[in-house]
Amino acid sequence: MARSYRTKPLRYKTATNAVALVSKLRVIERRPRPGDTHAISAKDIRLVLRICPSEYIAGLRMIELRPRHDSNVGRPYGFYEGVEKRIVLYSLPMNWSFDFHISLKYRQSLISSAARVMQTKDSTGIVWDKKEDRALWFFKDVLLHELAHHYCHQNRYRRKPASIHHEELLADLYGSRIWTGIVSTMRRR
């Protein structure tokens, strides 16, 4: 069954080891916005991606840590540029607020990572006590989500085109699969 629909493309067969893929990956860390910090350092990104399943990293060229460009936190936390094969992640403060209510799924993901979420009549406040908790949340919910967008973009010709809503759902699904793969790898060690 050589060169069938399910065969991995040749570009993936050259480096299937995650360590080799991460060593080729450029991780650029720019100075964060005043009052912010990067949730994950460039060094931590490299360390964690080494235990990530290699098919999700293959083809990724760069991860860039940038300062937020305006005062709105989380709009966006990060994004993926498919043409350049680059993930951009923005800096964050330890505490921030929204002038609206956040979704239940978003709230649960924050609370499961030890954030304090305070909702008033028409606003939501998010407080982190430890940088490590914020880093874990950012890794699980932002970096892995953008890595899943990269995976979907790499394999876009293997499936039917999807709407933006379905692309986000797919990124959430693949992000949770990546997390499951990382956890199982860590348990084996």
CB atoms within 10 A of CB 1: 6
For residue 101, what are the contacts with CB-CB under 8 A and spacing of at least 6? 119, 122, 123, 124
The mean pLDDT of 171-175, rounded to a whole number, is 88
What residues contact 142, with CB distance under 8 A and at least 6 apart? 39, 77, 78, 89
pTM: 0.84
Residue 3 lies in a domain: no
d(CA 58, CA 15): 8
Task: Provide the 10 A C-beta neighbour count for residue 71.
Answer: 8
Whether 16 is in a domain gets the answer yes
Q: Position of tokens 């050589």? A: 2
Q: Average pLDDT of 96-117? A: 88
Provide the pLDDT confidence category of residue 2 given band limits of 50, 70 and 90. low
Instruction: State the maximum Cα–Cα separation within the chain, in Å, rounded to a whole number.
Output: 60
Looking at per-residue pLDDT, the higher value among 186 and 116 belongs to: 116
Domain that holds residue 56: 10-188
Q: Is residue 174 part of a domain?
A: yes
pLDDT at 122: 85
Number of domains comprising the chain: 1
What pLDDT is recorded for position 153? 87
